[in-house]
Structure 1
């Protein structure tokens, strides 16, 4: 996996420089549209995925390509994700932020073998920050090995997208969290949320949706840094096992706290 680090990073930087940043804050009305209500796709998503898919296929000809936009057109793309080698591509994570002309947004690539997360890359095109992890080799941010840690002082900070929830569930979550968790805003970008957990800015994240491209890279980074991600009932989070929802936390102890507060 180490031999792939620089080649993959180089492809991501090319996308950021040649496809993404030239269109940041300059999208025209015909360059983005709603896939589903409130969920946008842009010309950048499509061009980024096409470039990365072709280039990654040349790096590992035996690997299948599982891209977010391809899966939006054909859900069968994710079938057999647990078989063999696969590149998991999120060509523009945080698309809604991008269309609004603000960060964060990211490029995310994961590499899996038989459904297991083996390597991941997250590039922030605005700051240039690169996060990378490989199984059993640790998590690195801008080349420095990192260990996830709790935020400083006060209640644990929980990034929970309450507006994705029905009104009753929103009220229940806020009632349960009262005095035990501080609910903080989400960045609307998994490529930013995972680094926040690792770097001690947030302690807990509750995900309602767990698409492979949103979590293949970041979940491995969190685990390699010493954190934990699992389904809401404690079951292992695997890309090849269907399920809804997941809790991610910067330490196993904070994961246990989140589960107790939000679901028990």
Structure 2
């Protein structure tokens, strides 16, 4: 494990122990709000993001920082994705966290020139730590990993439909359902990306592709040997924050099969 990985792991553990877990299943009245569209935020999200960025600023002063909660408060902050920046989702899976259920985790990425250069995913309950560096491989708890599929005859697909309108949602289900075993989604990208590399799911599709949800996971999956790209095959870039649609798969072949079917709908 690199020195940077060790520092990020220590940071995630510290914020989890001091800020996140003390409020798990212990949120008080007024400590959960809805940002709109069934998108909750808690006091733990906000406090964790502040603590994470304070520590990251000490690791590399002077670069941008883009967080889910800070960007909600000030949408102009997203412009920092155009340059070198840290990207943070302080509690990915807030819906689960707020309801007292797993999974949820911390996602951190370092991007430059619109491309993710490093990414980290920390499971707050199990302490599973995924790390990846561009052209440097993907790791789980310090061990280099290579993606594996489920091995199922019918690929297992976890399809996020929550940001589709009713008509589009039904077209997707009708068009893809016969070709896949449909699995429940965890409502947590910090869990969904590991599932794609560790043999639980074979493919996922996402409509909303915000950087704090996908920057770390897309790099980690690709460095493990999977494929994560826009529906047209172009690479995922954090500076294209208005684009929608993303396919992530345990192998390029599975990715291409899903892209062909999805683009034919």
* Fold shared per TM-score above 0.5: yes
Partner Cα separation in structure 1 for residue 191 and residue 200 of structure 2 = 11
1:8 corresponds to = 8
2:212 corresponds to = 213
Partner Cα separation in structure 1 for residue 103 and residue 80 of structure 2 = 31
Partner Cα separation in structure 2 for residue 19 and residue 177 of structure 1 = 41
2:184 corresponds to = 185
1:70 corresponds to = 70
Q: How many residues align?
A: 263
Q: Does the 8 Å contact 2:12/2:122 carry over to 1? A: yes
Shift of 1:112: 0.9
Higher mean alpha-carbon deviation, 7-16 vs 170-179, is at 170-179
Q: Aligned-residue CA RMSD in angstroms?
A: 1.4
Partner Cα separation in structure 1 for residue 192 and residue 101 of structure 2 = 16
Pairing 1:235–2:234 present: yes
Shift of 1:129: 0.6
Runs of 4+ in structure 1 over 6 Å off: none
Shift of 1:3: 3.2
Give the alignment's TM-score, normalised by structure 1: 0.96
1:224 corresponds to = 223
- TM-superposition CA deviations, 1:39-82 (whole Å, max 9, x none): 10001000000001111101100321111100001111111412
Shift of 1:163: 4.0
Shift of 1:170: 2.2
Q: In the TM superposition, what are the counterparts of 1:29-178 in structure 2 within 5 Å?
A: 29-83=29-83, 85-178=84-177
Q: Does the 8 Å contact 1:82/1:116 carry over to 2? A: no
1:19 corresponds to = 19
SS across alignment from 1:79? helix
Q: Does the 8 Å contact 2:121/2:190 carry over to 1? A: yes
Shift of 1:236: 1.9
SS across alignment from 1:110? strand
- TM-superposition CA deviations, 1:234-257 (whole Å, max 9, x none): 222111124111111111101001
Q: Does the 8 Å contact 2:64/2:80 carry over to 1? A: no
Partner Cα separation in structure 1 for residue 85 and residue 225 of structure 2 = 25
